[in-house]
């Protein structure tokens, strides 16, 4: 998909940023799932506690793991979509 | 150069006239929405213009002028070794300061081994992030020693030590020796078998110096055989004397490079 240069810059800069944050955040979630301690998990616990919910540890781990994998997949998808675009000036030398 | 908006490209208008799938449309719309609010691309473009303007004002370097870059480019990564060793030094200093909160330079007997050794064991086994902290300190020390040595090789083989930079070369020799002194004194601090026998070798090397040998052993190791005074002295050398001396000398070393400029290859 060919786009104007300025739009291409928007796509590369923001898709890369979003992808990086999503993947790193996904690994943080996986970490929270595996470790059983740590800030994210305690945060989730206290938020749920405020709603007078106290889910089992294994359930919480499972949720964290799924959310982490989803976040990583989302980051990858955003990145891959971003690579589908190129600026008009770039088309001559490729393909 | 300002952040005043240039003729804004009409992204949405452009999107209207194209046949886009819903995914492409949604994707581009989201990114454009973000771009209008967080103007990261504008700032990056500013940096880009600044980069090219600065480079326009630089005089041609020796390598550019005589077209040596095709022969010389593979040296360029090695010009980063000085900064790299400085970086390793900073990391070692920060992690070392944190380690200092938990370490005790005492050769007195504890439940298992000496106090110094049991403190190291505590850092490695009980302290949160202690294993990581000590590993960072150790690895940055290793990296610094290696980087300093390779930096010296680079300076030697590009002829950067030549006139008018002889003094900085000598200062560099002093610094590499002090770096090894840093390494040695730090090596003795865990006061385990490795440290103890390394210390024994040190004492004997000191004693082998003619005439002043005994005096040197007394001064550096606090006696002719290892003991509490040795550990105490190594600790003070490692955390007090050497940090002040080495930090000042590094500052002078870098200041001289700054004033004289980076040497052109000979």
ipTM of the shown complex: 0.79
- Which residues of chain A make contact with B29, given a CB cutoff of 8 A? none
Q: Which CATH number fits domain B75-260: 1.20.810.10, 3.40.50.1010, 3.40.640.10, 3.30.70.20?
A: 1.20.810.10
Instruction: Summarize pLDDT for B196-209 with one digit per residue, the tens.
Output: 999 999 999 999 99
The two structure tokens encoding residue B125: 């086994």
Of B9, B23, B45, the CB nearest to A7: B9
| Minimum CA–CA partner of B39 in chain A | A10
Q: Any residues with CB less than 8 A from the CB of B260 and at least 6 apart, and which?
A: B164, B165, B168
pTM for this prediction: 0.63
Instruction: Summarize pLDDT for B221-243 with one digit per residue, the tens.
Output: 999 999 999 999 999 999 999 99
- Which residues of chain A make contact with B28, given a CB cutoff of 8 A? 3, 7, 11
**Cα atoms in the Cβ-side hemisphere of radius 13 Å centred on B97:** 6
Q: Hey, is the C-beta of A32 within 8 angstroms of any chain B C-beta?
A: no
User: Of the ranges B18-27, B81-90, B237-246, which one carries the lowest mean pLDDT score?
Assistant: B18-27
Burial class of residue B172 (count of CB atoms within 10 Å of its CB; 0-12, 13-18, 19+)? buried
Q: What SS3 state is found at B134?
A: helix
Reported as type and span, the H/E element at residue A87 is strand A86-87
Using the beta-carbon criterion (under 8 Å), do A1 and B32 form an inter-chain contact? no
End-to-end Cα separation, chain A, in angstroms: 13
Q: How far is B136 from chain A (nearest CA, A)?
A: 21
DSSP state of A22: H
For chain B, list residues whose CB is within 8 angstroms of any CB belonging to chain A: 9, 11, 14, 23-24, 27-28, 31-32, 34-35, 40-41, 44-45
- Cα dihedral sign, B100-B94-B237-B177: positive
Domain definitions of chain B by residue range: 11-58, 75-260
| Minimum CA–CA partner of A6 in chain B | B9
Of B11, B24, B31, the CB nearest to A14: B31
**Chain centre distance of CA B183:** 14
Domain definitions of chain A by residue range: 2-84
pLDDT at residue B130 tops 80: yes
């Amino acid at each position: 998909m060919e786009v104007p240069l300025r739009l291409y810059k928007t796509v590369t800069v923001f898709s890369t940023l979003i992808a990086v944050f999503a993947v790193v955040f996904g690994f943080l979630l996986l970490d929270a799932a595996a470790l059983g301690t740590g800030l994210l998990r305690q945060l989730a616990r206290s938020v749920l506690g405020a709603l007078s919910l106290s889910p089992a540890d294994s359930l919480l781990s499972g949720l964290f793991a799924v959310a982490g994998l989803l976040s990583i997949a989302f980051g990858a998808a955003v990145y891959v979509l971003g690579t589908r675009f190129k600026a008009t000036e770039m088309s001559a030398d490729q393909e | 150069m300002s952040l005043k908006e240039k003729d804004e490209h009409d992204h949405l208008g452009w999107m209207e006239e194209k046949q886009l799938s819903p995914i492409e449309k949604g994707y581009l719309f989201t990114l454009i929405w973000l771009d209008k609010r967080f103007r990261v691309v504008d700032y990056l473009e500013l940096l880009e213009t600044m980069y090219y303007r600065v480079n326009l004002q630089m005089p041609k370097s020796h390598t550019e002028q005589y077209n040596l870059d095709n022969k010389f480019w593979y040296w360029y990564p090695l010009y980063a070794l000085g900064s790299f060793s400085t970086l390793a030094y900073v990391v070692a200093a920060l992690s070392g300061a944190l380690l200092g909160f938990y370490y005790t330079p005492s050769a007195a007997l504890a439940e298992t081994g000496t106090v110094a050794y049991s403190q190291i064991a505590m850092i490695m086994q009980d302290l949160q992030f202690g294993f990581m902290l000590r590993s960072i300190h150790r690895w940055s020390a290793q990296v610094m020693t290696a980087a300093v040595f390779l930096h010296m090789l680079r300076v030697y083989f590009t002829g950067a030590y030549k006139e008018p930079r002889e003094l900085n070369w000598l200062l560099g020799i002093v610094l590499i020796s002090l770096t090894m002194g840093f390494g040695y004194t730090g090596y003795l601090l865990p006061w385990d078998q490795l440290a103890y026998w390394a210390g024994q070798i040190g004492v004997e090397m000191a004693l082998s110096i003619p005439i002043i040998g005994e005096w040197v052993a007394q001064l550096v190791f606090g006696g002719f055989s290892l003991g509490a005074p040795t550990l105490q002295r190594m600790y003070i050398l490692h955390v007090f004397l050497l940090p002040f001396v080495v930090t000042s000398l590094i500052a002078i070393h870098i200041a001289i490079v700054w004033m004289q400029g980076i040497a052109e290859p000979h």
